Structure 1
Amino acid sequence: MRFMVFVKSPKPLAALHRDPLLRAGVLLDAGDLVPDAYGVSGYWLIDVRDHEEAVERVRRIPLPACVVEIRQVPVV
């Protein structure tokens, strides 16, 4: 299953903290988005077994003062 992980933080973190996902072989894409009024956002696109694995992998990454949202991406 594929999941898009959105990270909102005061500084660009998504691209910097992608290494654990890359080493695990689940990272498909990562990048930073254009800053908005709430700060900087970034994303990871990951391929894991289920939502629980997605949550567990993201929890292992130090993301201080961040808002994280995980959404399933339908595969067509």
Structure 2
Amino acid sequence: MRFMVFVRSPRSLAVCGGDALLRAGVLLDAGDLVAGVCGVSGYWLIDVRDREEAVERVRRIPLPACVVEIRQVAVV
């Protein structure tokens, strides 16, 4: 299953630890979005077994003062 992880952070996503997802072999894509009022925003597209695994993998990444949203992506 694929999930889009949106992160709003006061610092860039590269600093936030997305490389842990890459080392685990679940990261398909990553990118930054236009900076907004809440700071830097970006996303990770990951491929995992289920939502619980997605949540667990994101929990392992130190994301202080971040807002994280995880949504399932429909694969067509």
TM-score range relative to shorter protein: over 0.9
Give the gaps of 5 or more residues in structure 2.
none
Q: CA deviation at 1:20?
A: 0.9
Q: CA deviation at 1:15?
A: 2.9
RMSD: 0.9
For 2:66, the aligned partner's letter is C
Give the gaps of 5 or more residues in structure 1.
none
Question: Residue in 2 aligned with 1:71?
Answer: 71
For 1:72, the aligned partner's letter is Q
Q: CA deviation at 1:34?
A: 0.7
Distance 1:61 1:34 in 2: 22
Q: Which has the higher strand share?
A: 2
Question: Residue in 1 aligned with 2:2?
Answer: 2
Q: Does 1:11 align with 2:5?
A: no
Q: Which structure 1 residue ranges, 4+ long, deviate > 2 Å from structure 2?
A: none
Question: Residue in 2 aligned with 1:61?
Answer: 61
Q: CA deviation at 1:18?
A: 1.3
- Same amino acid, percent of matched pairs: 81
Could you tell me the TM-score, scaled by structure 2's length? 0.93
